[in-house]
Amino acid sequence: MRDPRSIAVIGVTGYTGFELATLLLRHPGIAKPHFYVRETHGAHCLSQLFPQLRSWGEAPLRPLSVEAIARSNAGTAFLATPHEVSTELAPEFLDAGLRVIDLSGAFRFASADTFSAWYKLPTPHASRLGDAVYGLPELYSERLGSAKLIANPGCYATSVILALHPLRQAGLLAPGHTIVCDCKSGASGAGKELRRDLHFVELEGNFRAYNLFGHRHTPEILEHTGLPESQVVFSTHLLPIPRGILSSIYATLAEAHTPQDIEAIYRKFFAGRALVRIHPAGTLPEVQHVVKSNFCDIGFALHADGKRLVVVSCLDNLGKGAAGQAVQNLNLTLGLEERTGLV
């Protein structure tokens, strides 16, 4: 008998996997999770790999075995794995009767062509894409509760979609006008793989743009804002800080509005969504306000002409941008309050 509160976590050695482990180990609504990695290096408990977890209680660490997980009573599997690994493992766990929450980009798109074009990987999992629900609770909570496969959103995409979707839905954006999504992220967003451009001496005191017109989160933004690619410029930058995202979004409104109008639209859209915090008109969020939390903070500045708008959206790329949002999705599937284990 599968228990959805019995959790198997596959992949825990990266930044996102470790953040997920810390959230699940202190989560009050689930059993102690079991962690699976391809190579345990002789360790039997997660705290043997991460000594900072020694006081967190038992955290069994086991070599990855799909068969062993399928034979257990685990009802939920988190995949904190590379995209190509998720494409292989998710269908096997689904076939075994587990719910899957995938933190990679493997299942974020309805079209296999979109995945292969942007991720430059084959899509042997194409038949499963239609089963996946995009795991952005503020937009799709009514579908997430019963979802068997949840595709956790990208970090940049979360910050931009939450900022733009209310404006798009309200019909405020001027047709044909370019929207610039100017986004900056801490270095943990690039992952734990050893790369020269992520060395301390390359990052410290530096600030640079990357993947212009080619970032993999672009199609997520387009799909979930309903904006055409021709209208969106999405630029990404690497900040010399460990974690956090600040997105400045420049838009033109179809008609003049007051700051009170804009604030009211955001507050109405996110009413009851406790993990999105709207700043009063004219005040702006900062990275330090959201680091090590699962909040997305949104503020804006409106020009005196009432049409030129800058929206600033901040979140922690490892929290609301990854592991925290995955736990938020878990809470929805378990019928728990969304903030359980998060704040």
Q: What is the mean pLDDT of residues 273-297?
A: 96
- 160 in the same domain as 101: no
Range 150-156 average pLDDT: 97
Residues 26 and 99 in one domain: yes
* Structural domain of 94: 3-134
Are residues 161 and 299 both part of a single domain?
A: yes
- Answer yes or no: do 91 and 221 share one domain: no
> In terms of domains, do 14 and 96 share one?
yes
Whether residue 217 is contained in a domain is answered as yes
Confidence of residue 192 (pLDDT cuts 50, 70, 90): low
pLDDT at 321 over 90: yes
If asked whether residues 192 and 58 sit together in one domain, one would say no
Q: Is the per-residue pLDDT at 201 higher than 70? A: no
Confirm if 7 and 329 have CB atoms less than 8 A apart. Answer: no
- Per-residue model confidence (pLDDT) at position 204: 77
Q: Answer yes or no: do 171 and 309 share one domain.
A: yes
| DSSP alpha helix (H) spans, the chain | 15-25, 46-49, 66-71, 83-95, 112-119, 137-144, 155-169, 200-203, 218-225, 259-269, 324-334
pLDDT, tens digit, for every residue of 209-250? 888 999 999 999 999 999 999 999 999 999 988 899 999 999
Residue 284 has pLDDT above 90, yes or no: yes
What is the DSSP-derived secondary structure letter of residue 146?
T
What average pLDDT does range 293-312 have in this prediction?
Answer: 97
Query: According to the model, what pLDDT value does residue 191 have?
Result: 66
Q: How far apart are CA 297 and CA 84, in angstroms?
A: 32
Number of structural domains in the chain: 2
Distance (Å, rounded) from C-alpha 165 to C-alpha 276?
13
For the ranges 99-103, 159-163, 188-192, 304-308, the lowest mean pLDDT is seen at 188-192
Percentage above 90 pLDDT, the chain:
80
User: Number of H helices and number of E strands within the chain?
Assistant: 11, 14
What does the pLDDT read at residue 48? Answer: 86
> Do the bridges between strand 34-37 and strand 3-10 make them parallel or antiparallel, or are there none, so unpaired?
parallel
**pLDDT at residue 341 above 80?**
yes
> Do 199 and 96 share a structural domain?
no
Helix axes 155-169, 137-144, angle to 10 degrees: 90
Q: Are residues 180 and 258 in the same domain?
A: yes
Domain assignment present for 115: yes
Q: What is the model's pLDDT at position 38? A: 87
Residue 5 CB contacts under 8 Å (≥ 6 apart), including other chains: 29, 30, 31, 75, 76, 334
The CATH number linked to 79 is 3.40.50.720
Mean pLDDT of 148-155: 97
CA triple 55-56-61, angle to 5 deg: 110
Task: Identify whether residues 181 and 278 lie together within a single domain.
Answer: yes
> For residue 205, what is the domain's CATH number?
3.30.360.10
Look over the chain and give the mean of its residue pLDDT values, rounded to a whole number.
93
Q: Give the model's pLDDT for residue 90.
A: 96
Higher pLDDT, 52 or 28: 28
Q: Which residue has the higher pLDDT, 79 or 205?
A: 79
Show which residues are catalytic: 155
278 touches 298 (CB < 8 A)? yes
